Structure 1
């Protein structure tokens, strides 16, 4: 019986494991192999150079500039996105005023707000980038943001936005947050819905306000979901390729102010035809991403609270 069970398990998992190895594991292995070569992308032109690409990468100021931009995004984007997601989800589920037969309820119109928050998730990231590129248009007549500021008498706040070195990356980060916060509103709302209402009612009977209720009840019970969301959002922040490529001035400008690692990899491979060097960047990105995920799962770990 035992041998039959194991044969069944192996037979059931063999095909998925093979497919995963071919289409997921194999490209990672090939990327590392290519990173050890000087290859222009043409068949038969690869030349083994060992760790030379990694040494060159270590001294590449453009790559470090792009890496630091990703680090800034890694710090700011998950914090703001998850913070807004938790706040809106809390208000939509337990932040409303008491009603006749309901002690715990969300704000009025919470179902409609869920739809509004989630709407950006059904839009392609390319369309989002194009929409916001036009919103940030510096022309006072064509740019929606500058036009709105001018209409309310705030002409002094009008700016070039994506053309301003000190603001360009912040503008792109704002779009990244806007496009993902709705997903976490729905995710955290689903998690909050599983928390027994008796817990909230008991806290309210004891005189707890909204802030103590959130930090002492909601957040601890949602910590596993928040931890997973942090890793997912961190990986998104380490990417940002589509938004930067479409929205930034001359792909990464002005003057490298919005350059990120994936864009630097793309330009190195397809513009400069240095596929070996670009693969070394890809391996470096993999190391950074895995390090972030492992550290997050390690230091954000808490004892699971049962309810």
Structure 2
């Protein structure tokens, strides 16, 4: 057998080049589409935010940082930012807590005598919990308009009337309106995270739970000592997704709120203000400045959340 020097290296380089070319050919079209339909609009929004474009003229006037300076003194903008802050605190906490509770019951909390299993009918409950997720946001909004109707014909007020309690203006009282919309967000989102956390729990070996249960660990210990640490990465992802959802709740606020963000801007959010500023007042430059601010708020939240919630990965 004769060794042909140099052929192996050349053959390896050729195979490697062909592999990269094959991979690049598959990535080229998605990359081009991403640049055109995602990066391109972002870049355009950054440029428009530095102009006073009204949406009509072909050559907008460059105004520099004037739009961002106006944002600093815009009370409606800061009201929307405060509402996002409240949503960022409450929406992930409540949704994740409820979803973890339901997922634990559906996968682990129903077992007896050292065995882990879901509660009876857990497959049916999974479908029931996930059902709101398949409904369009507009449909959910219309449904809860009937639930929150301020007179006695509303579902909630009808139940309160049975207990002798006067009707409550769930969506027309400034102190209640945002909390009422937030409750609808939790109701709609919790089913997806039940499924997400259930998938994470099902990936944990059953031997771990059974060994802990045989050692006398109760449901409280099984959840906080074993389940929670082992699905922490999934919870972290869910937290970031819910934070982004808190910044992107335009449709539900549009449908449910009084006078689009009312009463008295008690429920307004940045996506709604961007839409109203652009398409009602034709101030596309100022609306783009709000969009840029929303972009940086979202990126900052995601980066901080991943940083703060980072923990060492537990390997089984």
- The TM-score with structure 2 as length reference comes to 0.93
Match of 1:193 in 2: 202
Match of 2:4 in 1: none
The answer to whether residue 143 in structure 2 is matched with residue 134 in structure 1 is: no
- Alpha-carbon distance in 1 for matches of 2:191, 2:24: 40
Cα drift, residue 58 of structure 1: 1.2
Cα drift, residue 45 of structure 1: 4.9
Match of 1:84 in 2: 98
- Alpha-carbon distance in 2 for matches of 1:12, 1:241: 35
For 2:267, which of 258, 271, 274 is the aligned residue? Answer: 258
- Alpha-carbon distance in 2 for matches of 1:273, 1:56: 16
For 1:274, which of 283, 286, 291 is the aligned residue? Answer: 283
- The TM-score with structure 1 as length reference comes to 0.96
Question: Which 10-residue stretch deviates more, 3-12 or 75-84?
Answer: 3-12
Are 1:74 and 1:234, in contact at CA under 8 Å, matched by a contact in 2?
yes
Match of 2:183 in 1: 174
**3-state SS of 1:137 partner:** coil
The answer to whether residue 295 in structure 2 is matched with residue 283 in structure 1 is: no
- Alpha-carbon distance in 1 for matches of 2:187, 2:147: 13
Runs (4 or more) in structure 1 with deviation over 3 Å come to: none
Cα drift, residue 46 of structure 1: 1.1
* Number of residue-to-residue matches in the alignment: 302
1:33–1:162 Cα change, 3 Å: same
State the structure with more CA Rg.
2
**3-state SS of 2:258 partner:** coil
Match of 1:61 in 2: 75
Match of 2:30 in 1: 16
Match of 1:155 in 2: 165
- Alpha-carbon distance in 1 for matches of 2:164, 2:291: 44
Are 1:168 and 1:258, in contact at CA under 8 Å, matched by a contact in 2?
yes
User: RMSD over aligned Cα, in angstroms?
Assistant: 1.2
Uncovered stretches (5+) of structure 2, i.e. residues with no partner: 1-13
**3-state SS of 1:161 partner:** coil
For 2:233, which of 224, 229, 233 is the aligned residue? Answer: 224
Cα drift, residue 149 of structure 1: 1.4
- Alpha-carbon distance in 1 for matches of 2:223, 2:21: 50
Uncovered stretches (5+) of structure 1, i.e. residues with no partner: none
Are 1:89 and 1:188, in contact at CA under 8 Å, matched by a contact in 2?
yes
User: Could you report, residue by residue, the CA deviation over 1:186-237 in whole angstroms, capped at 9, with x for unpaired residues?
Assistant: 1111111111111001111111111111011001110010000100011001
- Alpha-carbon distance in 2 for matches of 1:214, 1:227: 17
For 2:84, which of 67, 70, 74 is the aligned residue? Answer: 70
